Structure 1
Amino acid sequence: MRFDFDKIISRRGTDSYKWDSSSDADILPLWVADMDFRTAPAITEALNKRVEHGIFGYVKVPDNYYNAVTNWFNKRHGWQMQKEWIIYTSGVVPAISAIIKAMTVPGDRVLIQTPVYNCFFSSIRNNGCETVTSPLYYHDSTYSIDFEDLEAKASDKRVKVMLLCNPHNPAGRVWTRKELKKIGDICLRHNVFVIADEIHCELVYKGYKYIPFASISNEFLMNSATCTSPSKAFNIAGLQIANITVADKGIRDKIDKAININEVCDVNPFGVIALQAAYNNSEEWLDELIEYLHGNYMYLCDFFKKEMPKLPVTKLEGTYLVWVDCSALGKSSHQIYTELIEKQKVQLNEGILYGCDGDNFMRINIACPRQLLSKALNRIKEVWSK
């Protein structure tokens, strides 16, 4: 490999949310979804050049920014989006919240597929809406969609929006074209607008393919808003940059107004620079990262098979977030979380955060050097294998 993902870089004392949230220096954090790798060299170089200028005023987002986004999605994912469709903002969560605000009124319902990213719940609640869940079907260490239930829930006249997570966090699924088409058709039949959270779209493993929901048909394009960001794949979440892609001008104007109401319409110059360096000059780095992450996943699967065979590891098609079935432990995910912290100083995400369907599971962030992953797994074994 050209890039060194094995190098351990200390993040303690850098005000890292992941590493410095606990005052205990012995805690190994495999929880919040950022990576313990330095970002791509092209991004660092571009940021260093911008720092050397020494003036950090308000930024005017240039045409090159939009070109970087459109060229990347066309080349890598076969989606020919247009510059005019793109609204930039500070993050995918603020984007989702703004779209919900634009497409609903308080009291409306928003449909989600659980277990799912925990911020979906708060974005719905904060806009005065109600959550409607269509649980994913868990079988043989993977998840599928209960389309009969999804259609029944979507047929509720009060359901105005569906939040689609593609690739899905924490289930690890990369939805197929067939699955996405069924989702889209259901939403069209029942006049449900789709918000596609596709933040993990770059992190897909060999044998699977990310398909932008909006790229499937013109009908889906006009009935959706897609949220993307280079933040997860290139480890630049702290730079606060994301995009909403929405083709329908009337809907786009509503979303743009909501973004301004939420006051998340301004971005910082470093995010703008980093996105361009990521999409224009960092594809080789990303390809090697994905290979390394898959190696971490295979290492973890082998470790569980040998040391903790009663705890199935969910099949991982995309993301770097591994979902482990801990039903055999006979404890709630909060109990398991607490025991790991107290007994072995390992911090994971408790499954209950992602909905009631997740209470028998734990989420493990494997985006770290393999040596750290091995150390954490050996600590986990001391609690879970007994």
Structure 2
Amino acid sequence: MNTPTTTCEATGSMARCQELVRPALRAAVGSLGGELEVMCGFALGWWDSDGRPGKGGAGKGLRPALALLGARTAGVPAETAVAGAVAVELMHVFSLVHDDIMDGDEQRRHRPSVWKAYGVGPAVLTGDALLALALRTLADVPHNGSAEATRLLSGALVDLVGGQAADLAFESRPWTGPRAVTMAEYRRMAARKTGALLGCSIAIGAALAGAPAAVVTGLQEAGRHLGLAFQAIDDVLGIWGDPAVTGKPAFSDLRSGKKTAPVLAALTGPPADPLPGPRTGPDRGGRLVALLSGGRDDAQVRQAAELIEATGGRAVAEQMACHYQDAAIRELRALDTDGSADELIAVARLLTDRLS
């Protein structure tokens, strides 16, 4: 077994993965030409809205790194997974562009969101172009693994859209009562909206290389668990995250009335075992509902955040993240016979560092 990879080494591993994927990603976007190329490059953080090179706005390349490291875990050279890495990154950015439109979010990574920079219509087309490029990238792979990888990506897309539809439907449901959103419903939504794409990301390189079905399935399951952990952490950051880090206003999820894990845990008490959590007393629950149903000015959202934390909602979400991260790592360890998963596990552990 190799020595466990440190956080610093994991960060370096992600940087190396980005270097390996970047030329192919640039070539895919460059094939569009014209305004679509400019808007897609802006969405990816490569330049400003006029196409001038600028700093900031680019993501960390988590999903492409998962694709390459997942392939390595399956005993496949990372280089053979580049097309899969490009495809999952393009689909991820497609989802962000459309999410920002649906949520009305004006900023993404400290810059205007695509719809804010160009308008809603051009932003919709930008997302469509990114998704089309993702599918074409896999279709152009000249060997049999292309079909299985395309099946994985298209299945993840169906799940992602279904999860987003459920998330939007939650917004019209009440905070309490028989129609209130349950933690079980939340977990199903998160498994589709976030878990499906991370599952696809980890498995797609192995699928491209024709790895055994059991290995591809195991990697995909690990990614789904990782997605649930990732979503729970995002929910914590959506309330208590530093705007300088998240690129969004303080308490942004409370201002928009999103039904996230900390809020639902505070309102409904603990989810089913094995995840622990507090019970919410009627007084606190009533106060929280009143705050969430109000005008959501600065004072109200701050009070709501304090009450959610005091009730234990934040702790439940953080425990949920740890629980699913541990489940993902167990899946990866079960596939690992020679330490080839160490880098991938270290990158998975970086997810919880976002809370520190």
Q: TM-score, normalised by structure 1?
A: 0.24
Q: Which structure carries more strand by proportion?
A: 1
Q: Which structure carries more helix by proportion?
A: 2
The one of the two structures with greater contact order (alpha-carbon pairs below 8 A, sep at least 6) is 1
